[in-house]
Amino acid sequence: MAIEPQFQAVPGAARELSRELFEPATVAAGAAEAIHRPSVSYWRDAWLRFRKNRLAMFGLVLLIILALGSIFGPVISFHFGGKTFDHQDYANINKPPSAEYWFGTDQLGRDIFTRVWVGGRISLFIGIMAALIDLVIGVIYGGIAGYAGGRVDEIMMRIVDVLYGIPSLIVVILLLVVMEPGIKAIIVAMGITGWAGMARVVRGQFLQLREQEFVLAARVLGAGARRLIFRHLVPNAMGPVLVVLTLTVPQAIFGEAFLSYIGLGVPVPLASWGTMINDGYKLIRTYPWQFFFPAAAISIAMFGFNVVGDGLRDALDPRLRK
């Protein structure tokens, strides 16, 4: 049975193909291997992806504003007629926000605008220093455990589990009772108990990275333990470490605020956001501005660090790279 063709050729449309109809594509010397897209490093690519995250960029702008305010706020207040953070003016007690006192005054006549920014210096300094202590101890401890493995890893991680089993707040309070109250005591107390989480993250990253091909190649080429750790393992583990670091700072700030709230914070007459909240909540019904401004500052700081940490987590994750 013959099968009829489905398409009929149009008379005169078909044309014999000849060699003259085809020309070979010519490529200039070196053009075939030319790089048309510029090379982008890992950190450059991470920054480009972080910049596309609007919420993270908004949090970064808030943190920059807080940092600049903490540095220049007291200076601006002094030049515009404000006083030092501990200056008491009993003729201007509990003044509401005005052109003279932008954030009002407290029950001792002190300028709240100046005290908020001075308190920002102390709170941010405590949070950043506590996070850096966690970073140093956690990277060293977790790096040794993850690189050594075996029995050394088991023993070191059991110590971390014991620290996790003890409430950190109790340890911090006991240390502050024994030590002389002050900023140094708060930083040391938070650093002693806060590095366990960082150590776990670093240890997990080292256990994963030490089995990779580039580490095996470096070991075959004769790289020692120090070179493997600081040249290959630590740089490749910095992504998750930076994310944990940005999330540790607001925890330390909130911890300092809580300690100041229960009376174990920075000593008088120093000001921090926690001490100002402790003083302001007692008069929140009659003079709400004394509580609102330091509470708003600490809320903005915690929001900024958290959204920046989330943005870094997404930007540094290679699985989300397009």
CA distance 307 to 243: 10
Nearest-CA neighbor of 266 among 176, 192, 131?
176
The pair phi, psi for residue 12, each rounded to 5°, is 85, -10
Contact 307, 58 (CB under 8 A): yes
Q: What is the pLDDT of residues 36-49, one digit of tens each?
A: 566 667 678 778 88
* Per-residue confidence (pLDDT) for residue 59, from 0 to 100: 92
* Per-residue confidence (pLDDT) for residue 72, from 0 to 100: 86
Q: Which two tokens stand for residue 174?
A: 């006991």
CA distance 96 to 92: 10
Contact 160, 196 (CB under 8 A): yes
Contact 117, 69 (CB under 8 A): yes
Residue 269 preceded by cis peptide, ω within 30: yes
Instruction: Looking at 94-167, list the stretches that DSSP marks H as alpha helix, in order from N- to C-terminal side.
Output: 112-148, 150-165
Q: Which two tokens stand for residue 41?
A: 């490093």
* Per-residue confidence (pLDDT) for residue 38, from 0 to 100: 65
Contact 261, 123 (CB under 8 A): no
Contact 103, 293 (CB under 8 A): yes
Under DSSP, the state recorded for 91 is: G
The pair phi, psi for residue 105, each rounded to 5°, is -125, 165
Q: What is the pLDDT of residues 67-126, one digit of tens each?
A: 998 888 877 776 445 556 666 777 788 888 888 888 888 888 888 888 888 888 888 888
The domains found in the chain, sorted by start residue, are 53-72+103-320 (1.10.3720.10)
* Per-residue confidence (pLDDT) for residue 62, from 0 to 100: 93
* Per-residue confidence (pLDDT) for residue 251, from 0 to 100: 85
CA distance 207 to 145: 9
* Per-residue confidence (pLDDT) for residue 148, from 0 to 100: 84
* Per-residue confidence (pLDDT) for residue 79, from 0 to 100: 46
- pTM value is 0.76
Contact 67, 88 (CB under 8 A): no
Which residue ranges of the chain lie beneath pLDDT 50? 1, 3-4, 7, 10, 13, 79-80
CA distance 33 to 260: 64
